[in-house]
Copies of this chain bind each other. A is one copy, B any other.
Amino acid sequence: MRRHSSVQHVTESFQSQGIMKLLGARIARLRRGLVEVSAPNRCELSQQDGFVHAGVLATLLDTAGGYAVLSLLPRGSRVLAVEFKINFTKPAIGDTVRATGKVRKLGRRLAICELEAKMRDRGKWVSCAWGSQTVYCIRPDGSND
């Protein structure tokens, strides 16, 4: 019987991402098909107006989506971003960023995720980015074929 990627598997992979450490990000929630990544806001994450940079949101979202997919795959699987598209709907202001990736469709080799980033601003979570992502799944042991 194939077992799916354990929490441990996803967590270990997350910790091996240098960029997550650089951004101060951590996994805030992890269940099968849904991952949330959060980071405290600080001026090192900002663009020129002091908002969190769109690319930082994209980075957290890409990671959240990728691991949401990985959480549904057999152990030993790998995931790669094919593409993502993100709309930025509000300036990213607040003390904490939270990026959520949710699997909408899991195929043999391709998965589609919905991505959404929120900021906690004065205690309230406000959506500031929303989009979609295609993820390529590399399953172990030739199980792709």
How many chain copies does the complex carry? 4
Q: Are B78 and A83 touching (Cβ within 8 A)?
A: no
Write the nearest CB–CB distance from A13 to chain B, whole angstroms. 4
Q: Does A109 contact B (CB under 8 A)?
A: yes
Interface residues of A in 30-53 (CB under 8 A from B): 42-49, 53
Q: Report the separation of the CA atoms of residues A19 and B46 in the bound assembly, to the nearest whole angstrom.
A: 6
Contacts of A48 in B (CB 8 A): 13-14, 16-17
Q: Does A145 contact B (CB under 8 A)?
A: yes
Q: Report the separation of the CA atoms of residues A27 and B58 in the bound assembly, to the nearest whole angstrom.
A: 21
Q: Are B17 and A46 touching (Cβ within 8 A)?
A: yes
Residue interface bits A60-90, CB-to-B below 8 A is 1, else 0 = 1111000000000000001011111111111
